[in-house]
Homo-oligomer: A and B are copies of this chain.
Amino acid sequence: MTAGKGRKDLPTMMDVARTAGVSKSTVSRAFTQPGMLGAETVARILEIASSIGYVPNHTARALSTGRYGNVALVVPDVANPFFPPLIRAAQMEADRSDFCVFLGNSDESWRQEDKLVDRFLSQVEGLVLCASRLTDERIRAHALKRPLVLVNRDVPGIPRVLIDSAIGVREAIAHLAELGHKHIVYVSGPASSWSNQQRRAAVRLGARQHRLEVSIVAARVPSYESGRAVVPDILATGATAAIAFDDLTAQGIMTGLADRGVSVPADFSIVGCDDVLGAATYPSLTTVSNRSDETGRAAMSLLLDMLGSRAVGDARVTLDTYLVVRNTTAPPPNRPPAPARAAPPPLIPPRKGEGDAN
């Protein structure tokens, strides 16, 4: 019963009330409905409050109003470079409405995600689940209890924000076609990924329109390592350019090509996806923007709209992407490149935080 069992107790509303010679209610109103009180009373109370370092207790307020002022954001892997910009944007959007945000790391496990959501449920007004690992069923169950917004997960009936790579990928195809490429490769990501399906379809469609030959090479997991590993398959197709599922894979491919003396972009062109590495690589990577920050902002904004009881119903927001041309694309060489020397074993540890973010 006794709260805090001696731990440092923050000043309460009663403390303020006592030294101000008023009742709890008055102090409460001074903070929530100042207009209802005398101007000098409000001033005095606020003065006293700040002098003794009083801050309204978020928890107690939540209990009586049902407005927790908190939202939860759950991602599979905080360290996956896809997410930090999204998290940052979502956090700042929530902050604009004075919401605090819980961050959950599901560690790519649906059990963990389920546990987190349950823990969050009773102290948040709503949640944003990114690339959720839960079943549609569980998601629906949770959505019954609290407003829920999904990112890169398409469950009918649940508001969701999706990054549609189609446009960006189409731009990439057009870009390569314009440069004179005739045969390209799509290095695919996880089959279960919604993003991967989008991208592959867009590649196929774009290639048909531009009369390009297209090969598909599968990289089971999107990572530096697996990109590096599939380079022989890529070269075997005889293509002169590749579009990779994501930047990490593209990066691995670049390394694998360099290992074989194939230079980028002179001998081979590469396009990534997600713009996760920025211009940090050399040569800097041509890639498809993912606008993950806008995604984060949009998802949080959508959630806050729902909380503001502005009905949102079955929202399905898609964000377009665009091509970011940097320095890994150029006209094809006269002859398609071929392996010059045998591939060395992979020496370099994979980058942390890889995996299928989307």
Contacts and interface: CB of A to CB of B under 8 A. Distances in A.
Interface of A: 1, 3-5, 7-10, 53, 55-60, 62-66, 68, 70, 73, 77-79, 81, 83-85, 87-88, 91-92, 95, 98, 100-105, 107, 112, 116, 118-123, 141, 144-146, 224, 248, 251, 254-255, 258, 277-282, 284, 293, 326, 348-353
Contacts of A95: 105, 112, 116
A234 to B, nearest CB: 17
Contacts of A87: 78-79, 103
B64 A59 contact: no
Given A60-B63, A79-B85, A123-B59, A279 B7 contact: no
Contacts of A58: 119, 122-123
A120 B100 contact: yes
A78 B84 contact: yes
B121 A10 contact: yes
Chain A interface mostly helix, strand, loop or mixed?
A: mixed
20 contacts: A3-B63, A3-B66, A9-B66, A10-B121, A59-B63, A59-B68, A60-B63, A60-B122, A88-B353, A92-B107, A95-B105, A98-B119, A100-B102, A103-B103, A224-B279, A251-B280, A278-B349, A278-B352, A281-B281, A293-B352
Given A83-B84, A258-B282, 15 more contacts: A1-B64, A53-B141, A58-B122, A59-B63, A73-B103, A79-B85, A81-B81, A95-B116, A103-B103, A251-B280, A278-B350, A278-B352, A279-B349, A280-B280, A326-B348
> Which among A1, A119, A248, A353 has the highest number of chain B CB atoms within 10 Å?
A119
A8 B100 contact: no
A280 B224 contact: yes
Given A85-B353, A121-B55, A91 B103 contact: yes
Nearest to A351: B278
- Copies assembled: 2
Contacts of A83: 84
A65 B3 contact: yes
Contacts of A258: 282
Contacts of A326: 348
Nearest to A142: B53
A66 B101 contact: no
Contacts of A282: 251, 254-255, 258, 281-282
A314 to B, nearest CB: 17
A120 B56 CA distance: 11
A84 B79 contact: yes
B105 A91 contact: yes
A95 B8 CA distance: 24
A101 to B, nearest CB: 6
A117 B107 CA distance: 27
